[in-house]
Amino acid sequence: MGYSLGDSQNSLTRLVIVNLVVFITLALCRAYFFFFYQDTAQIEVVFREQILQWFALPGNWQQIIYRPWTLLSAMFTNVGVWMVLGHLLWLWAFGFIFQDLSGNRKIVALYLYGGLAGSLGYLLAVSLLPSSTSAALFFGAGPSVMAIAIATTMLSPYYRLFPQLMGGFPLWILTAVYVLVSIATKPLQQPISYLPLLAGGAMGFLFMQLIRMGYDLSDWMTRLFDSANNLFNPEKKRQKKSGIRDMYFYKATRQPYDKKPKLTQDRIDALLEKIHRQGMDSLTKEEKEFLERASQSNQ
């Protein structure tokens, strides 16, 4: 069972909400200037100089020093209805599959890594082409979405979409369409616009490749988020210290009997929910054996 749109534990929903909140805030700020200026071009200039520059990543290294938070805020900044609509639809399409396959605890970290990679790719382009980017601003969820798209495709390239319609089609076809659309909508006369997307895609590839090698880049970030949540959760029980009996006694490595828990539907549902939240790797050996017994009993 996947996560519903209103699920409080749905990290994908939280990412969408943050993007929408930033978009609505910027839209209200732009609408405010209509009370003072009549010329649309002038409104755009004032909006970029007074509002957008505090959210978007500047194309000047000296300005980044004074606004370092833009490395984070730029990946949530989408200006224009079509821009935010396109990014969020693709984010939901790939994010829903990624979250369904890998659990609920990696997508936020992957989104942030992809956005940071896109920002660094943009800054690299600033160094290579300083004359054409000194006054430019970088913003948008494109690199983050690209990272999630590539990571999801690496996770399961033959994941079937719409299987009810003549067997559906594999996920890699949707990814190819997304990459082509992303490239086609970028201006050819501005090659700098391609580098952040390439950096985001490379980060998605690296993220999954390291997981296959046993290195999870999201682990430290997940533990940090959990620690922050526990600080504001007074009902969180403190972990009990090990008593002297646990420290010095009952250290046998062999169990005195073969413990086989009773097969219950509630237990099965709880383990399936754990897989959706944290992935298959979070199960203990006993829990995996329990699910195996349950599957054999249903045959």
- Give the residue from 204, 224, 244 where a domain finishes: 224
Q: Which of 224, 251, 281 is the last residue of a domain?
A: 224
**Residue 153: pLDDT band by 50, 70, 90 thresholds?**
very high
For residue 249, the SS3 value is: coil
Predicted local confidence at residue 255, as pLDDT:
53
Residue 6 lies in a domain: no
Which pLDDT does position 111 carry in this prediction?
Answer: 96
Do 87 and 201 belong together in one domain? yes
Q: Is there a domain that residue 195 lies in?
A: yes
The C-alpha atoms of residue 120 and residue 63 are separated, in whole angstroms, by 15
Q: For residue 249, what pLDDT band results from cuts at 50, 70 and 90? A: very low
Q: Is position 188 within any domain?
A: yes
267 three-state secondary structure: helix
- Report which secondary-structure segment, H or E, holds 58: strand 57-58
Tell me the pLDDT tens digit for each residue of 183-210: 888 776 666 778 899 999 999 999 999 9
Residue 256 corresponds to which tokens in the numbers above?
């005195």
Q: Are residues 77 and 132 in the same domain?
A: yes
pLDDT of residue 289: 76
Report how many domains make up the chain. Answer: 2
CA-nearest of 173, 176, 220 to 201 is: 176
Residues 154 and 299 in one domain: no
This prediction has a pTM of: 0.74
- Pick from 81, 87, 190, 186: which is nearest to 132 by CA? 190
Has residue 87 got a pLDDT over 60? yes
DSSP string for residues in 31-56: HHHTTT---HHHHHHHHHHHTGGGTS
What's the CATH code of the domain at 137? 1.20.1540.10
Task: Judge whether residue 275 has pLDDT over 70.
Answer: yes
* Co-location of 45 and 173 in the same domain: yes
Give the pLDDT score at 135. 54
The most confident of the ranges 17-26, 102-111, 160-169, 281-290 is: 17-26
Q: How confident is the model at residue 36 (pLDDT cuts 50, 70, 90)?
A: confident
Q: Does residue 248 have a pLDDT over 80?
A: no
> Please, is 253 exposed, middle or buried when counting C-beta atoms within 10 Å of its C-beta (0-12, 13-18, 19+)?
exposed
CA-closest candidate to residue 19, choices 77, 62, 67? 77
Helix (H) or strand (E) holding 63: helix 61-66
| DSSP H helical ranges for 103-236 | 107-128, 130-133, 142-155, 171-184, 194-212, 219-231
d(CA 186, CA 146): 14
Question: Which whole number is the average pLDDT over 234-252?
Answer: 50
Q: Which of 41-45, 86-90, 271-275 has the highest mean pLDDT?
A: 86-90
Pick the more confident residue, 256 or 279: 279
d(CA 97, CA 160): 10
- Any domain includes 158: yes
* Residue 95 located in a structural domain: yes
Return mean pLDDT, the chain.
Answer: 81
Q: Is residue 1 part of a domain?
A: no
Domain span at residue 291 reads 262-299
